[in-house]
Every structure is written in C-alpha cells, then in structure tokens.
Amino acid sequence: MDLSVVLSVAALSAPTSQSPTSLPMSLSAQAILVALGFSRSSITAAPYSFEHLDNYHLNRDFPAVAGTSRLSVHLRFGTVSVRQAFKQALAVNDTLVSELIWREFFMQILWHFPQVVTRSFRPAYEHLAWRNSEQDFAAWCAGKTGYPLVDAGMRELNTSGYMHNRVRMVVASFLCKHLLLDWRWGERYFAEKLLDYDLSANNGNWQWAAGCGCDAAPYFRIFNPSTQAKKFDAQGEYIRRHVPEFDSLAYPPPIVAHQYARQRCLQAYRQIR
C-alpha cells in the first residue's frame, strides 16, 4: 500500500455501501480509499525526522523553531512503528523518549478507565459550573480571541491539521480556564481537526489542561497566554506567520481580561473542591 496516499487523505465524503471485504484485491491503494468514500485533501502531513533532535529538550517548546520530530501523525496512521520510534528516540534524546511514554500512559488510562471518554477522571469535576458560551467558543475556534498565541495556534490547526504541542497546552488552558468552557468542547474540536488525532492522547491532554485528569495540572495553574507568548515566541515569528493582522488595528482586543478570567476560574474551581 502506498502509505503516502493514506497520509494525504483527511476528508471523508459520503458513505459508501461497499465493505472492505467486498473490494477486489487488484485495486490500488488510492482506488480502495476512493471506493471507501475518502477523497484527497489539500492538507498533507510533514515527514517525521530524528535528525537535529539532540537538543529536543531545549527547542521543543518554541513553535517558530523546527525542533520537534513530527512523529505524531505517523504514529496515528501506522506509517512508523512505535517500537521503531522508541528505539531511535533512545539514541537521540531522553525527553523525546518520555513523550512516547506519555503516549503509552494515556492509552493505559483509556483501557483501564474507559469512562474518561465522556466523563472527567476525577468525578468532582463533573459538577464544575462551565459557562459554555457559544459566542466565546466560536471566537476560540476561529482564532479570534484577541490573544495572539491562542489565535495563532487555532489558525495553524484550522489550516494545517497540526498544532505545536506547547501551543496546544496554551489554547486548551485558555478554553477551560479563561473562558470556562467544558473541556469536552475543545476535545471534540481537536478530534475533528487534528491529523494526528488519537483518542487516548487527546482525551488525556485535555483532561490534564482542565485539571480533571488522573495526573492533571493543578486547578490553580492558569497559563497567562501573553506571558507564554513572550517566553516561547519572543520575536512574534510564529504569531505573525499565522496572524498576519497582528500588528494592525484590525486585530481584535482580548475577549476577556486575563486577571478577571483568572479570578473567575479560581472561584468556579474552588466551589467543587
């Protein structure tokens, strides 16, 4: 099978009545995908690489830098074995190894606690009073929150099917804690958009960001998106790449003030503790 074809397919068209077992073996990989109802997307996945990752632990948090392996989508589609990836990572960087272990950890959580698919790992968080503003959610999805790093991340996701991991943490924290929107809203949106979508990792990381997971960030840890931008994109290179109007009057003001959102979040979380 031509696996490059698999990686370039991201759009699902109308359902087909043919089942995989009824397809003739003589069909090419691309013809099989078409027969199953897939169509080629304009979005393609970047190749993975273990080169230049000696300093992965130093560079991985800077979204403007090509400092990650881009393994995730290949692990999702099986175009690289996780055992092969683990073996190569062992020879390159310990932090990269730990990221693969986190992936396995979330798979184990999903297997042993399948209720996390729809509910918080920590039951108390099911009683959290989410605001669930449709208007705020739409602004977050569109990358129009007035917080440059959040907006850059969401626009990168919407146009490429990918988002840098540091930025994923920032946008997830912003949705749950600045906007007080249910983490499941964000998890579903990521599931729809991410080429590297993996149920266990997506669920585990969203519950981590919301503070309701098995090894979650403390509820009082609330990323300041402006501080995160100064720390990890100091020159605004990543932001300007995805938010071209950043330096103009066309860029919107923040939809919520950080200090106000922080206090509102702390109050809501303390009520369930």
SS3 146: coil
Is there a contact between 209 and 171 (Cβ–Cβ < 8 Å)?
no
Which element (helix H / strand E) includes 154?
helix 148-160
Residue type at 265 in one-letter notation: C
Which amino acid, residue 206? W
User: Beta-carbon neighbour count of residue 139 at 10 Å?
Assistant: 20
3-state secondary structure of 79: coil
Which residues are tagged catalytic?
A: 99, 102, 130, 165, 183, 206
Q: What CA–CA distance (Å, rounded) separates 160 from 152?
A: 12
For residues 141 and 125, give the distance between their C-alpha atoms in angstroms, rounded to a whole number.
Answer: 24
User: Which residues are CB-contacts of 260 (< 8 A; sequence separation ≥ 6)?
Assistant: none
Distance CA 138, CA 144 (A): 8
Contacts 24+ apart (CB under 8 A), 66-73: 68/164, 68/165, 69/96, 70/45, 70/46, 72/196, 72/198, 73/7, 73/45, 73/46, 73/48, 73/162, 73/195, 73/196
**Separation of alpha carbons 75 and 102, rounded Å:** 13
Q: What is each CA distance from 98 to 93, 101, 105, 108, 173, in whole angstroms?
A: 9, 5, 10, 15, 22
